[in-house]
A and B are shown apart, each in its own frame.
Chain A
Amino acid sequence: MRNVTVIARRELSSYFNSPIAYIVLVAFLLVAGWMFFGPFFLIGRAEMRSFFAPSLFSPSMLLVILLPALTMRLVAEERKAKTIELLTTTPVTDTEVILGKFAGAFGLVLAGFAATLVYVVTVRLLGPLDLGTVFAGYLGLTLFAGALLAVGLLASTLTDNQIIAFIIGLLVGGALYFIYWLQFLMPAFLAPLIEFVSVSSHLDNLARGVVDTRDVVYYLTLGGGSLFLATLSLSRQHA
């Protein structure tokens, strides 16, 4: 556990040592704010559902693109620079390495989410906002981001090329996200399956303010499974 914290701290500070953290945070805050407040004033209701809910033009869609950019370097860069040899010959387990790297990226994302609390305050000042729904929305967005980070981290263990890691993460995340809107093009009997597989449908439920264990379990499974596979993939490299 101690090692996880040590690795997470290094990953987090490494984000801030390079421009990535600033670019991703600023891009997220600006674009997500614009995506949210644009229609917000047109609708004229004090609610934040459109901030959390998946759509083709929403903060969560933005995350589908930005999160792989955060995770792409995590393992691929170490493989390229061969520092992975240094890291895995210190007495840390592969699980600790993966969890530490995940926690570092997750920490950055949570910091970004914390900054959006300003939007909550703004909306609250403008009208009667249901904080329970907002809480469910943040829970959904956090689980969603965590799962996609895990997928991106898995992609990063598969290659020593960061661009390829980014593209794999983007494709998998994008597929899981956009398949939700494609279900109408598919045969009807596939609809429940797509509903189950898509990251969007579960986010939609939470954004409505409904905290269903099935949705929570879905994200935990996707995230946990990806982290598990990432660990296997990492230990295979020094097999």
Chain B
Amino acid sequence: MTTTTQAMVEVTKLRKDFGSTRAVSDITFAVNRGEIVGFLGPNGAGKTTTMRMLTGFLRPTAGEARIGGIDVADDRLAAQRLIGYLPESAPLYDDMMVVDFLDYVGELRGLDRATLHARKREVCRRCGLMDVLGKDIGQLSKGYRQRVGLAQAILHDPALLILDEPTSGLDPNQIVEIRELIKDLGREKTVILSTHILPEVQATCGRIIIISDGKLVADDTPDALTERDVGAVINVILKTTDASRVQRLLAGLPGVRNVDLADGEGAGTVGLRVKASGTADPREAIFKAAVDNQLVLIAMSRERVSLEDTFRRLTRGEPVERMQQKSTSKEAAHA
């Protein structure tokens, strides 16, 4: 390690152009040792390109990526020694036997015979490969292929694991298995994994980085990401027939941005969707207004905003004022 910084990965204004297309646009973030970070974004957002720059497969057009303090562009091989990488869709040599393949990767990683032997046992146990060691990789199922890919990534016991869609194409049982394995690995290692499956990140990652269209749009813990949107929508059902009056009434309350009509609970009731402005929680005001106007409040609930909603809003470029402010101020701080 050339520096004593806590950060395992430091990415500064990383950019990648393919011809006139900007695949990754000045992304800045850092990952500390021991973190499990989820890299989220719609297909084609630039997740894979960013990971390829981190692993030294692609050279950045501008900006820099440091792994354990080492600039990847400067000393690619030294940085690569610290990384275990599972590329997208786990490309493997189909004509090799699993055991030969692991030997090959281990030798390329510079492991000596004894270490390689011990590590092979260890990763095969962890990834559940004992039964398929003598099989050709080409004959393996998708789930086993993914595990072999993971096994080669952790074979040299790297400090940093970069996994590009480790669970894509797996069935639900296999997804859970791989997820457990990643969680397990995350206890000792820094992990960056990309996915577009949201429950996966919520289940495994301590932090989420969302990129859309090559830009970083959010960088926070899963809870903080959704919490910031909580309070945004309150569903109210009132016992009344005059929908427009209550709509006007609620819209005039402090902390309310706007009120839409929604389904009630049958005749004589009116349902309303109250959108709060900012982080305000107008529930108390709504209750008081109902009491003051002698309206019977049948139901009132705060909609828990799911990560899906946050994700969809962020990656579709719809305005989420606070979050965007946050990420821009963060970028400014780095600059």
| A interface list, Cβ under 8 A from B | 2-3, 6-7, 10, 13-14, 17-18, 81-83, 85-93, 238-239
Cβ contact within 8 Å between A83 and B52: no
Given contacts A6-B108, A91-B77, A91-B109, contact A86 B58 (CB under 8 A): no
> Which residue of A has the minimal Cβ distance to B136?
A17
What CA separation (Å) do A86 and B87 show in the bound complex?
7
**Complex A-B: 15 CB contacts under 8 Å:** A3-B108, A14-B95, A17-B95, A81-B91, A82-B87, A85-B52, A85-B57, A85-B91, A86-B85, A88-B57, A91-B80, A91-B108, A92-B108, A238-B56, A238-B57
> Which residue of B has the minimal Cβ distance to A100?
B108
What CA separation (Å) do A86 and B148 show in the bound complex?
12
Whole-angstrom distance between the Cβ of B91 and the nearest chain A Cβ: 4
Cβ contact within 8 Å between A18 and B58: no
Question: With an 8 A cutoff between CB atoms, is B105 at the interface?
Answer: yes
Contact with A along B52-91 (1 / 0, CB 8 A): 1001111100000000000000001110110101011101
Question: With an 8 A cutoff between CB atoms, is B96 at the interface?
Answer: yes
> Which residue of B has the minimal Cβ distance to A14?
B95
> Which residue of A has the minimal Cβ distance to B110?
A91
Question: With an 8 A cutoff between CB atoms, is B315 at the interface?
Answer: no
Q: Could you tell me how many residues of chain B have their Cβ less than 8 Å away from some Cβ of chain A?
A: 30
Whole-angstrom distance between the Cβ of B77 and the nearest chain A Cβ: 4
Cβ contact within 8 Å between A90 and B93: no
Contact with A along B78-121 (1 / 0, CB 8 A): 10110101011101111110001000110111100000000000
Cβ contact within 8 Å between A85 and B59: no
Whole-angstrom distance between the Cβ of B202 and the nearest chain A Cβ: 28
> Which residue of A has the minimal Cβ distance to B105?
A90
Question: With an 8 A cutoff between CB atoms, is B152 at the interface?
Answer: yes
Question: Which residues on B sit within 8 Å (CB–CB) of A17?
Answer: 95-96
Question: Which residues on A sit within 8 Å (CB–CB) of B108?
Answer: 3, 6-7, 87, 90-92
Question: Which residues on B sit within 8 Å (CB–CB) of A82?
Answer: 87-89, 91
Cβ contact within 8 Å between A89 and B80: yes
Cβ contact within 8 Å between B95 and A89: no
> Which residue of B has the minimal Cβ distance to A5?
B107
Whole-angstrom distance between the Cβ of A6 and the nearest chain B Cβ: 4
Given contacts A6-B104, A85-B52, A238-B57, contact A90 B109 (CB under 8 A): yes
What CA separation (Å) do A112 and B64 show in the bound complex?
48
> Which residue of A has the minimal Cβ distance to B86?
A86
Question: Which residues on A sit within 8 Å (CB–CB) of B76?
Answer: 91
Question: Which residues on A sit within 8 Å (CB–CB) of B100?
Answer: 13
What 8 additional pairs, Cβ within 8 angstroms, besides A17-B95, A86-B85, A91-B110?
A: A2-B107, A6-B107, A85-B52, A85-B91, A86-B87, A86-B92, A89-B80, A92-B77
Question: Which residues on B sit within 8 Å (CB–CB) of A10?
Answer: 96, 104
What CA separation (Å) do A18 and B95 show in the bound complex?
8
What CA separation (Å) do A218 and B76 show in the bound complex?
34
Cβ contact within 8 Å between A86 and B152: yes
Given contacts A6-B104, A6-B108, A14-B95, contact A85 B87 (CB under 8 A): yes
Cβ contact within 8 Å between B55 and A89: yes
What CA separation (Å) do A199 and B107 show in the bound complex?
37
